Structure 1
């Protein structure tokens, strides 16, 4: 029977509000991207200001709408006094910005329950934002010229006509960071409306620019230009350059036959070739390299375990200026002005809260990763455990997507070096007896160690032999997996390594 009726149903759902979208966006930003985002928000929102450290912070609460996150006794939480000053109730929904906490459960309470003594020693979440070393902002720019600037300067003094100079600049723009010309000359001629011979003539002049070999279209051409400049480009060397594939395979008999020289002459020719530069543009600066600044520090605890601390220099410290907010709110007359003041105040408060929650979430995820991979920190990469997002997410009561965002573009400084958080997530390889599995990264390291040690006794290990050695060690691995890991490590095959060993 078809009819109409009214029903009332009760259910739970997560609505992706603009504030929640902002919190999720902040979570996956790197520290450099976060700093740029905060600077833009401060320019847009007049109520936001930096939390500059003062000798007595406790007496300067009038102009503060939000206290920075504090960490005491292993718990990172908002202070009750700060919550009262904001006039906001810190309930379960507000404290869990990413929707991971169960109803009625506060994230800070869960963090306190799951904190393990001796593992995490959480310190104050930052004492100043910016991430710049003192004086960096006033340091003059003394950077070296880029490759393109260097080539453009030579083109300007090469005596080109205006038309040829425009062609040269076009070719320079097509040169990559390694110094190679990428693109077809015919397309350039068609685009600029000139003859191909004219393009090739201008390119021939550009081939005389420094460094030698610049703007070549292939590795053989780059090496040929350098040999011509050294007056060493003879027929035997030309044959050697034409057979670089034989050189890569260490096929010395084939090279001797192709070049028509004996073993001694071939050795000298190969030595000359090794002295050349296959990437002439690599010596020039491009865009400034971004220094990796760790978001988390891990240090050994003298009492045992590891201390996990946030890097205070990477955490922007923002406050809401209550005095200015009160002044602006009192001066608002129309409903539009009042609505604007209320809107920017809500946005400022939410941003401060989102930054605090982001810091706590990063610290929580990093602490669990350290707990899972403590053997790696203590003994090395061979003890890296298999780990996935679900394991960490289940342990800390968060969703896998949240853990994935936290580990993107985040770095941790450990006694063994600086690693991206995603480094600690590796696939599992089963053991022969079905017991504890092995980390794929640890197995790759073991394969590399076996190959590095093979030259000492003159024996070269084949992939099949490596499989046998790993199986004897209790690692169940297939030959194709060994070959895949070896290629990922850029290690030649056993045949190529045997030729290299004989050549050396």
Structure 2
């Protein structure tokens, strides 16, 4: 076989990931809040962009991704590229932070009581040290002898101060373990039943495993009485400092709103917070000015191309999200009419084929975005789930089956809870054909314990 060199012409097609395309993909993935921040940054770095406060209809928004001869364009068409949004009145803008106040921490709450209790400066100093050593759950993790060593004080005095702090509010605070925490709460509630103290002191692991017959046998009482005691123990607070812990409230702003008007559902992309962008007229005039050099022309062309592509990408994002939600609405109409049990199986591929885009585009358009509907707020990903085909040929989404399982467990006889096999048989009566293992998997997803742990004596 002879080998040699040669020149050959060949035509191929390949996707080149240009900076503009990367930006369009990035914008599609943004939530409305992320898009708002991104636009603020673009307004800072691109001088030809500005926010249009006036309410105007959509511009042409049909700029090609290729380079544009802006001189010719400005001469022929002086209309502005724009994206329609409603500009918010900053003065009337509502902020949750403006009506919330700083919450008191656990340490501040305890120190207030400490300063009212201890008159002796030495005891007050010990109390402050103990309070500052508590973890976020209200437990004392340092040994008393270590505290005594640091403060150069007798360990018995440390213990006396600790006893006083353990009577502070919240009940059970400054305990060194779970048993002590629960016992402090029982004493604070002035519980007289010694069997309750016995179970807390010696059988907490058995309580967690719901081994009520074993506890009843060891203590010598009825299983029903043990269950009643355990029900009471579970009302106690295992983490006294929990109510003082910082709670991060993540407010969800829906990206799409579905409203029912009469018998029809109307879809609206919620972009009211996104600024309306236009291209500044003074830069267009500057481009047409006779006094200009090549560097200025190149700079303006680059910035104008960038601005036009940004506006187009924002509009494409809006249209893609709208098309995806419209497709979801069409396929899941029974869900919106009758509730969660009527959610149908649906894949990204189905929606992608209907709106004629790639699956990855649908995935990006739905990730991290929420829709407000007449029956609640849902993440768009919620509507995409696998499912099974029923005996009658009807399809059931996994989320729908979970709701059926939840209802079956809620309606069961607590003294004779249903096994996974019996739940599967009840689902079969409804026309849903799934195995016992699948029932167990869905039950675990719902955090429902097995039948042996759901039994009431």
TM bin, normalised by shorter chain, reads 0.7 to 0.9
Structure 2: distance between partners of 1:327 and 1:45: 15
DSSP 3-state at the match of 1:442: helix
Cα deviation digits, residues 80-108 of structure 1 (max 9, x gap) = 4xx5xxxxx645989xxxxxxxxxxxxxx
Higher mean C-alpha displacement, 350-359 vs 142-151 = 142-151
Does 2:384 correspond to 1:428?
no
1:155 and 1:165 in contact (8 A); partners too: no
Cα deviation digits, residues 8-42 of structure 1 (max 9, x gap) = 22122221122221221121122222222222333
DSSP 3-state at the match of 2:13: coil
Q: What residue in structure 2 maps to residue 29 of structure 1?
A: 30
1:296 and 1:309 in contact (8 A); partners too: yes
DSSP 3-state at the match of 2:372: strand
Cα deviation digits, residues 225-270 of structure 1 (max 9, x gap) = 4335546599744432242343344443333345566679757744
Q: What residue in structure 1 maps to residue 8 of structure 2?
A: 7
Does 2:408 correspond to 1:450?
yes
Q: What residue in structure 1 maps to residue 395 of structure 2?
A: 437
DSSP 3-state at the match of 1:140: helix
Give 1:378 shift. Answer: 1.6
Structure 2: distance between partners of 1:215 and 1:47: 61
Give 1:288 shift. Answer: 4.8
DSSP 3-state at the match of 1:313: coil
Structure 2: distance between partners of 1:335 and 1:147: 63
2:257 and 2:373 in contact (8 A); partners too: yes
Equivalent residue for 1:402, pick from 328, 351, 361:
361
Give 1:52 shift. Answer: 1.8
2:65 and 2:309 in contact (8 A); partners too: no
2:127 and 2:165 in contact (8 A); partners too: no
Cα deviation digits, residues 395-417 of structure 1 (max 9, x gap) = 11111111111111111122211
Cα deviation digits, residues 157-196 of structure 1 (max 9, x gap) = 6979999978965x56x63xxx2669x869xx9xxx999x
Higher mean C-alpha displacement, 447-456 vs 409-418 = 447-456
* Aligned length in residues: 427
Structure 2: distance between partners of 1:153 and 1:334: 71
Q: Residues 213 and 322 from structure 1, CA distance in 2 versus in 1: closer, same or farther, beyond 3 angstroms? A: farther
Q: What residue in structure 2 maps to residue 468 of structure 1?
A: 425
- Within a 5 Å distance, the mapping from 1:121-200 to structure 2 comes to 126-128=85-87, 134-137=92-95, 140-145=98-103, 147=105, 150=108, 171=133, 175=136, 179=137
Structure 2: distance between partners of 1:237 and 1:462: 31
DSSP 3-state at the match of 2:413: helix
Q: Residues 93 and 41 from structure 1, CA distance in 2 versus in 1: closer, same or farther, beyond 3 angstroms? A: closer
Cα deviation digits, residues 412-448 of structure 1 (max 9, x gap) = 1222111111111111213346x34321111111111
Give 1:389 shift. Answer: 0.7
Q: Residues 262 and 146 from structure 1, CA distance in 2 versus in 1: closer, same or farther, beyond 3 angstroms? A: same
Structure 2: distance between partners of 1:372 and 1:6: 54
Give 1:48 shift. Answer: 3.0
Give 1:137 shift. Answer: 4.9
Q: Residues 288 and 271 from structure 1, CA distance in 2 versus in 1: closer, same or farther, beyond 3 angstroms? A: closer
Give 1:339 shift. Answer: 4.7
DSSP 3-state at the match of 2:23: helix
2:63 and 2:312 in contact (8 A); partners too: no
2:127 and 2:162 in contact (8 A); partners too: no
Larger radius of gyration: 2
Equivalent residue for 1:345, pick from 301, 304, 307:
304
Q: What residue in structure 1 maps to residue 257 of structure 2?
A: 297
DSSP 3-state at the match of 1:136: coil
DSSP 3-state at the match of 1:356: helix
DSSP 3-state at the match of 1:419: strand
> TM-score, normalised to structure 1's length?
0.70
Q: What residue in structure 2 maps to residue 393 of structure 1?
A: 352
Structure 1: distance between partners of 2:395 and 2:99: 52
1:125 and 1:359 in contact (8 A); partners too: no
- Within a 5 Å distance, the mapping from 1:340-379 to structure 2 comes to 340-379=299-338
Give 1:372 shift. Answer: 0.9
Does 2:446 correspond to 1:486?
no
Q: Give the alignment's Cα RMSD to 1 decimal.
A: 4.3
- Within a 5 Å distance, the mapping from 1:248-267 to structure 2 comes to 248-259=208-219
DSSP 3-state at the match of 2:170: coil
> TM-score, normalised to structure 2's length?
0.76
2:107 and 2:131 in contact (8 A); partners too: no
Equivalent residue for 1:243, pick from 203, 211, 216:
203
2:257 and 2:269 in contact (8 A); partners too: yes
Q: What residue in structure 2 maps to residue 115 of structure 1?
A: none
Does 2:374 correspond to 1:415?
yes
